[in-house]
Structure 1
Amino acid sequence: MTPKRLLQLSIAVALVTIVLKGIAGYVTNSMGLISDAMESFVNLASAMFALAMVTIAARPADENHPYGHHKAEYFSSGFEGILIVGAALAILWVSIVRLRSPQPIEQIGWGLLLSIVSSGFNAALAWVLFRAAKVHRSIALEADGRHLVTDVWTSVAVVVGIVAVHFTGWLWLDPVLAIGVALNILREGAHLVWRSSQGLMDAALPPESRAAVQATLDRFAAQSPDGAQLRFDDLVTRSAGQRLFADLHMHAPGDWTLERAAGLRDALEQALMDAVPGLRVTIQLLPLGMEARAVQLAPNA
């Protein structure tokens, strides 16, 4: 299933969970369930924005964006993180008000049943999103999945808390639980914002991808034809949404023909792309003993 189809499914599931959790919060008058329902509105808004960004990210490269539009997905996860933080602050405010004036919980059975059913939908969708995120290397799908997992654990905590309130009679436990839910949501939102900022600032490839690149370079250096001493240096990598980039220098013997050196370079590029799916490689050919001129950045005035 494509990322667009998955996010459309996420929007549909968010609408269903809003209805179920909203009814659960209304019939029980539980602040924990009400806060859980409020987070579902964030699920809906973030899924809609993620769908828009994934659509933009799928556009092909053009004259103004020669490297494509893949970074649009980082805006999606960043926006979702900001929405999560906003929802957490709203839940904190309402919970503190309720803590000062606790109210009894009503019709617990129906409320818990509706909450458990909606959590089941979110858990199943999160599992699908995580699998698809690995296949498509999509941070938008991963962010949506992480948010849904947070929502599931939030619901579990709320259900446990409501049961505890029912058996202990401690009405203050419900708003205190909602405050804990808000703090957990706040942590997840901050994590998404941080990950998005790293992507927008051209973070390096993940450690496992860098290790695969280095292993391929070492293999080519050790298996050089005719005992030639190949050397690779100035390796630079970056991530941009679904796209991964690597730039490096390949030093070959100066007496090789250009055709021979270029042929080996092409073989290396293919091997690197096979080792790291989605990688785009740029290799500059240099003769052994020649170093590329380093670019010196002027200090800030």
Structure 2
Amino acid sequence: MRDNSKMTQPIADHAATNRRITTLSVGVAVVLVTLKAFAYGASGSVSILASLTDSALDLVASLGTFFAVRWAAAAPDAEHRYGHGKAESLAALVQSGLVMASAVFIGLEAVRRIFRPEPVSGGGWAIGVMVLSIGLTGWLIWQQSRAIKASGSVAVAGDRAHYSADLAANVVVLIGIISGSLLKAPGLDAAAGLVVAVWLGWGAVGLLKTATGHLLDAAAPDDDRNGITSAVLDDSRIRNVHRLRTRISGNTLMVQMHVDLDASLSLAEAHDIVDAAEKRVLARYPHADIIIHADPAPAVAPATEANAAPTSGPWG
């Protein structure tokens, strides 16, 4: 369940935080690509090549996130009444395809060099570049974590997950370079490149599942749906929640539901009850877009041994 207690800044401030951290992410990606291109030219290491390709894709992914968070933050317009939040998921879908293609390329190159090893030269330069890359990537992840606490951005969280995987992959690459240059075992360097390729493919599958889930209107997690239902039912005048539907668009949680109210209530009274329920949900989920439809509660016969029956659950 998301920690919504930390999502208290105005939405404009959240957008500014996301713009700043995505700009930083692009800058770090450019530096990493430059450093690794130099290291690959000096060493010819396949694991450096794998890491260079990964960083190049990181740059593409970070650029996608850079533009996606700006598009997603745009206000609803006449053609997009629900806003532009799915721009983030669309960008992630494209990124997952790029990452998977890269994983296949690196995997094939690594397998080729396992059977036909090539020496790794310039190991000192390559090791220095990878140590610097690990430090720079770790610093970026720390900055992204701070931004996520401030804004709760799904796009930035996805970018951080990608760089977290890169951090681990860079450690594997460093091991491969040391093996290939210092231990004179180039086959281990190629094997390290293969490990990175598998890691990239696994990450691409996870990113694809998340992106397609949002684009296909997958429901919010059970914890969130239970939290919504609990908030609505805090008022005893609301007898039941049913036909609850949720989906996620960018940072916005879309919520629709029906609630049962006493049929004798006036329209104004029913409106006040529903309005209060919406405010309780918003207190837990500040970025929610909520629609609640009031239904007259069905008449309930007095419970007896003959006609007693369990009441319906929160999902109706």
Shift of 1:191: 1.0
Letter paired with 1:58? A
Shift of 1:167: 5.3
Letter paired with 1:79? V
Shift of 1:206: 2.3
1:271-290 CA deviation, whole Å, 9 max, x = no partner? Answer: 01112221121111122218
Output aligned runs, 1:54-69, within 5 Å: 54-69=69-84
Shift of 1:135: 4.1
Letter paired with 2:124? G
Contact 1:58 1:69 in 2 (8 A): yes
- Structure 1 regions of 5+ residues with no counterpart? 291-301
Shift of 1:88: 1.0
Q: Per the alignment, in what secondary structure is the counterpart of residue 220 of structure 1?
A: coil
Shift of 1:164: 3.1
State whether structure 2 residue 264 is matched by structure 1 residue 255: yes
Q: Per the alignment, in what secondary structure is the counterpart of residue 233 of structure 2?
A: helix
Structure 2 counterpart of 1:75: 90
Shift of 1:113: 1.3
Contact 2:17 2:150 in 1 (8 A): no
Distance across 2 between alignment mates of 1:281 and 1:149: 34
State whether structure 2 residue 55 is matched by structure 1 residue 36: no
Distance across 2 between alignment mates of 1:87 and 1:133: 28
Shift of 1:210: 1.5
Which of these residues, 210, 234, 240, is aligned with residue 219 of structure 1? 234
Letter paired with 1:183? V
Structure 2 counterpart of 1:230: 239
Distance across 2 between alignment mates of 1:51 and 1:164: 37
Structure 2 counterpart of 1:124: 139
1:117 to 1:141, Cα distance in 2 relative to 1, 3 A: same
Shift of 1:168: 4.1
Output aligned runs, 1:141-156, within 5 Å: 141-156=156-171
State whether structure 2 residue 154 is matched by structure 1 residue 139: yes
Shift of 1:117: 0.7
1:189 to 1:137, Cα distance in 2 relative to 1, 3 A: same
Contact 2:28 2:136 in 1 (8 A): yes
Contact 1:50 1:76 in 2 (8 A): yes
Quote the sequence identity (%). Answer: 26
Letter paired with 1:96? V
Distance across 2 between alignment mates of 1:231 and 1:40: 51
Distance across 1 between alignment mates of 2:190 and 2:104: 14
Contact 1:74 1:139 in 2 (8 A): no
Contact 1:77 1:139 in 2 (8 A): no
- Structure 2 regions of 5+ residues with no counterpart? 1-15, 300-316
- Identify the range of structure 1 (4-13 vs 123-132) with the bigger mean alpha-carbon deviation: 123-132
Cα RMSD of the aligned pairs, angstroms, is: 1.8
- TM-score, with length taken from structure 1: 0.88
Distance across 2 between alignment mates of 1:79 and 1:59: 20
Letter paired with 1:273? L
Shift of 1:169: 2.9
Distance across 2 between alignment mates of 1:95 and 1:89: 10
Distance across 2 between alignment mates of 1:192 and 1:158: 22
Letter paired with 1:30? S
Contact 2:126 2:177 in 1 (8 A): no
Letter paired with 1:256? L
Q: Per the alignment, in what secondary structure is the counterpart of residue 230 of structure 2?
A: helix
1:34-89 CA deviation, whole Å, 9 max, x = no partner? Answer: 21111111011111122222221111111111110111100111111111111111
Contact 2:176 2:190 in 1 (8 A): no
Letter paired with 2:140? L
Contact 2:119 2:180 in 1 (8 A): no
1:168 to 1:114, Cα distance in 2 relative to 1, 3 A: closer
Structure 2 counterpart of 1:299: none
Distance across 2 between alignment mates of 1:171 and 1:260: 76
Contact 2:244 2:256 in 1 (8 A): yes
Distance across 1 between alignment mates of 2:290 and 2:202: 36
State whether structure 2 residue 249 is matched by structure 1 residue 240: yes
Distance across 1 between alignment mates of 2:76 and 2:280: 24
Shift of 1:162: 2.4
Contact 2:96 2:207 in 1 (8 A): yes
